Amino acid sequence: MSQVTNISSPEFLRVTLVQTDIYWEDIPANLAHLEEKLAQLTGQTDLIILPEMFSTGFTMTPENVAEPLNLVTTRWMRQMALGTNAMILGSYVAREGTHFYNRLLAVYPDGTYVYYDKRHLFRMGGENEVYTPGKERVTLEWRGFKIRPYICYDLRFPVWSRNKIDAPYDLLVYVANWPSSRDVVWETLLRARAIENLAYVAGANRIGIDGNNVTYIGNSQIIDFKGQLLGKLTDKDEILTIALSKAALENFRTKFPAHLDADPFEILG
């Protein structure tokens, strides 16, 4: 099922959240399942956001499924970006030498890509014991918008997500495998990040039960710079597309320039 609002326009960025169940540690099955979903989005969106570890589920046995760059998942994302004429975001299990990363890949329709490695590793699930944390933030530029992508547990850390005058963004993206037991936290923090950063926020979560018997109920959503809900999915296998207005964002920042009074800071380490 798909929910779509607004039409193609140079004044808007059409953002699509793909909320789905994930076959446990089965890359071919997940890519085939998602390919069928993404086919319907051709020409209908500008940015497609997939959940965290969309090709495997949130696994703590990366040695079973990890891939280097430019292998199966990267090539698949390139094919999907080209076919839909949209940027595609999603994280997968990456390997570099002896290190594993929870790596978000952002692929443009022309095949170029940028990646972000998750900085805050979920120690309560043992992620910090098997994955290497990232050190750099990434800002993407796409169709008039500046986009800052993050991964799941990063949502809890406002300093890492903080918008800055000298390096601003317009849209925060969080791809996630966020459990139903902490659903209230998910919704609360997404709104908080939008309000404090004067930016749109998009959170793409999964549904279903994973290989560790953890339950997910989705609640993927898009929020505006005032903290107002623009669109939300429930616990179904669904797709949501919302068109975001850059002009509306800039007008609000002009009328309510709270960002000009933000405290300066630097992140060390």
User: What is the residue range of 249's domain?
Assistant: 2-261
Residue 28 falls within a domain, yes or no? Answer: yes
Containing 38, the helix (H) or strand (E) segment is helix 27-39
63 is catalytic: no
Q: In what order do the strands lie in the sheet with 145-151?
A: 140-142, 145-151, 171-175, 200-204, 221-223, 229-232
Q: How many domains does the chain have?
A: 1
Q: What is the spatial distance between Cα 223 and Cα 163, in angstroms, rounded to a whole number?
A: 16
Residue 96 falls within a domain, yes or no? Answer: yes
Residue 267 falls within a domain, yes or no? Answer: no
pLDDT of residue 9: 57
Choose the catalytic residue: 67, 152, 238, 246: 152
Residue 269 falls within a domain, yes or no? Answer: no
146 is catalytic: no
DSSP symbol at 41:
T
- Tokens of residue 252, six digits: 């609000």
The series of mean pLDDT values per 10 residues for the chain, 269 residues long, is: 46 96 98 96 97 98 97 98 98 98 98 98 98 97 97 97 90 98 98 98 98 98 98 97 97 94 81
**What region does 213 belong to: left with phi over 0, alpha with psi -120 to 50, or beta?**
left
Residue 179 falls within a domain, yes or no? Answer: yes
Choose the catalytic residue: 25, 52, 67, 127: 52
Q: Which residues of 170-181 are buried (b: 16+ CB within 10 A; e: fewer)?
A: bbbbbbbbbbbe
pLDDT of residue 4: 40
What pLDDT digit, counting tens, does each position of 140-192 carry? 999 999 999 999 999 999 999 999 887 799 999 999 999 999 999 999 999 99
How much is the pTM? Answer: 0.95
Contact of 18 with 48, CB cutoff 8 Å: yes
pLDDT of residue 1: 41
Choose the catalytic residue: 25, 37, 67, 118: 118
236 is catalytic: no
pLDDT of residue 265: 79
In CATH, what number is assigned to the domain containing residue 145? Answer: 3.60.110.10
For tokens 């799941």, the residue is: 152
Q: What is the spatial distance between Cα 49 and Cα 32, in angstroms, rounded to a whole number?
A: 17
- Tokens of residue 248, six digits: 């509306």
